[in-house]
């Protein structure tokens, strides 16, 4: 429920609302997110589901479409992976999410910092980034690892895996 609450809060907040939320959290994204998750969780499942329905207008997710898409892709997998209910992510969405999470600062994932000094190479699509010891694996696993999801680490191989995964739980 927490992942869905996070998505409902992020995708439906206005730009002004996001700025206010960040200011109240001292411009520290993890704190802002945890407070928003608590607020949305208190609203209950029906409010979260309603906020995520197709007929609800997107707030900041529409303005920052690529970041919003990345949030949706990563968190969708967050909810599916523990149940073994994985599904292929359409390649165009995967490419956008990989680009955002590996290049943009301020996404809150640490992906850009995590990939420093590493070459990441997808084995199922034509995609790579970086220089240094190589880490190979399915693009979805690379995306999830860039997002700090340790559950994807066993799908990665290469001489750079230890360095890439160090310090992430």
Tens of pLDDT, residues 2-48 = 888 887 887 778 778 888 988 999 988 888 889 989 999 999 988 88
Tell me the C-alpha distance between 40 and 5, whole Å: 5
Q: What sign does the dihedral 132-134-140-144 (CA atoms) show? A: negative
- Answering whether pTM is above 0.75, one says no
Domain coordinates in residue numbering, the chain: 1-63, 90-169
- Phi/psi for 86 (5° steps) reads -75, 155
Cα torsion at 164, 153, 142, 6 (round to 10°)?
A: -100
The pLDDT, as a whole number, for residue 114 is 76
Residues of the chain short of pLDDT 50, as ranges, are: 169
The pLDDT, as a whole number, for residue 123 is 97
Instruction: Give which of 162, 119, 122 is closest to 139, Cα–Cα.
Output: 122
CATH class in words for 90-169: alpha beta
Q: What is the DSSP string of 36-73?
A: HHHHHHHH-HHHHHHHTSTTSPPSHHHHTHHHHHHHHH
* Spatial contact of 138 and 81, defined as CB atoms under 8 Å apart: no
């Amino acid at each position: 429920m927490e992942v869905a609450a996070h998505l409902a809060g992020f995708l439906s907040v206005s730009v002004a609302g996001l700025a206010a939320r960040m200011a109240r959290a001292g411009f520290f994204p993890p704190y802002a997110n945890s407070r928003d998750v608590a607020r949305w969780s208190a609203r209950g499942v029906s409010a979260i589901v309603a906020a995520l329905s197709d007929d609800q207008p997107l707030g900041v997710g529409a303005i920052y479409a690529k970041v919003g898409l990345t949030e949706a892709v990563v968190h969708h997998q967050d909810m599916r992976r523990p149940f073994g209910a994985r599904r292929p992510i359409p390649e165009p969405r995967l490419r956008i999410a990989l680009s955002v999470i590996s290049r943009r600062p301020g996404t809150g994932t640490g992906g850009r910092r995590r990939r420093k000094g590493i070459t990441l190479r997808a084995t199922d699509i034509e995609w790579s980034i970086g220089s240094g010891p190589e880490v190979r694996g399915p693009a979805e696993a690379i995306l999830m690892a860039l997002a700090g999801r340790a559950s994807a680490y066993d799908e990665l191989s290469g001489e750079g895996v230890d360095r890439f995964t160090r310090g992430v739980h």
